[in-house]
Amino acid sequence: MAERRKPGMDHGLYPYSALPTRPVLKWPDNKRLAVWVILHLEHWPLQAPAAAVRDGRFRGEFGNFFPDYRTYSTREYGNRVGIFRVLDVLDRYQVPVTVAANAAMCRRRPQLIEACLARGYEIAAHGDDAARMISSRMSDREEEDYINTSLAEVRHISGAARVGWIGQDFGESPRTPQLLARAGVDYLGDWPNDDQPYWLNLDPPLLSLPYHVEWDDATLMAVRQLTATRYGQFVVEAAERMHGESAQSGRMMSLGLHPWVIGQPQRIRYLDNVLAHLRGMNELWFATAGDIAEFYRAQSPVV
């Protein structure tokens, strides 16, 4: 008979924590809900390395035949056209933005990164390119090189000493959080398991900022095939619910945007609608991921 498992987590990265049992979380000026917008700027190679691991959510793309110009061009549309529609909407509402930029984008399309920096956006590292995510198939050295190269490119183009990490397609191996902590990453945005930041048990400690995959535009419209109308309703419903729940203790929600998805002409109006609704809500704190991480560290230091 198999040995009975002891209660607890399946890993030692963080302890189980029921949200109602935690100390009250307060945001600046007693705001109730922190909102961080993540703009994905990504380069896709036409042919990924044979050993590359790709996101299983997009299974069937970039692989049924070669060259797959149709899928490649759909993604590239975001970097040629869609991004400027998205930037126009973000400019209209003057919200802080965290840009998840992969290293290949920093090298190949620096003008897009510079356009974001000119707006005061924060740049976070987002892996190498959009067809290669971290996985356990990498060796220790391969993964460490992947991380360090990605961080170096973002630090170089942004001039920031400390940058956050939002992994390509949330890919990780069991080593990844510790490697990121040792590399001096400011925060980790890969774990969608909470509505508040929390500390990872690493050396040195690393702060996790949950990224809500549930209302990421690519997840909803490209993967789950929701209509753009329903996407807009989905995000607003989530924000209203979380705003209500945050009356007792602060919450946070992310809004992930991909120019090749939300930047399409038939969809961009729904980003406008979402931001108009959020701007009309009371006691919301719009912030970059770095701002949220810095404030949380000051209020809830590692014990």
User: Residues 250-266: pLDDT tens digits?
Assistant: 999 999 999 999 999 99
Residues 179 and 5: their CA atoms lie apart, in Å, by: 29
7 in any annotated domain? no
49 or 84: which leads in pLDDT: 84
What average pLDDT does the segment 187-193 reach? Answer: 95
20 in any annotated domain? no
- In the chain the first and final C-alpha atoms are separated, in Å, by 40
The pair of three-digit structure tokens given for residue 222, joined into one six-digit string: 């490209």
Q: How many domains does the chain have?
A: 1
97 in any annotated domain? yes
30 Cβ contact list (under 8 Å, min separation 6): 283
The pair of three-digit structure tokens given for residue 17, joined into one six-digit string: 């924590």
17 in any annotated domain? no
- Classify residue 175 by its DSSP letter: T
Cis link prior to 15 (omega < 30° from 0)? no
61 in any annotated domain? yes
pLDDT tens digits for range 43-83: 987 666 655 545 555 555 545 566 777 788 888 999 999 99
What average pLDDT does the segment 120-134 reach? Answer: 90
Q: What angle do CA 202, 186, 251 make, to 5 degrees?
A: 90
> Which residues on neighbouring strands pair with residue 134, listed in sequence order?
none
pLDDT averaged over every residue in the chain: 91
Percent of the chain with pLDDT strictly greater than 90? 77
Neighbours of 132 (CB within 10 A): 23
What average pLDDT does the segment 119-133 reach? Answer: 91
Q: Residue 188: phi, psi to the nearest 5? A: -120, 125
pLDDT of amino acid 66:
66
CATH of the domain at 261: 3.20.20.370
6 or 215: which leads in pLDDT: 215
What average pLDDT does the segment 1-30 reach? Answer: 84
On the question of pLDDT at 150 being above 70, the answer is yes
Instruction: For residue 106, give its domain range.
Output: 25-299
170 or 49: which leads in pLDDT: 170
Half-sphere exposure of 13 (CA within 13 A, CB side): 17
Task: Identify how many contiguous H helices and E strands the chain contains and give both numbers.
Answer: 11, 7
Residues 68 and 72: their CA atoms lie apart, in Å, by: 6
Residues 7 and 5: their CA atoms lie apart, in Å, by: 6
209 in any annotated domain? yes
168 in any annotated domain? yes
Residues 208 and 191: their CA atoms lie apart, in Å, by: 7
pLDDT tens digits for range 209-259: 999 999 999 999 998 999 999 999 999 999 999 999 999 999 999 999 999
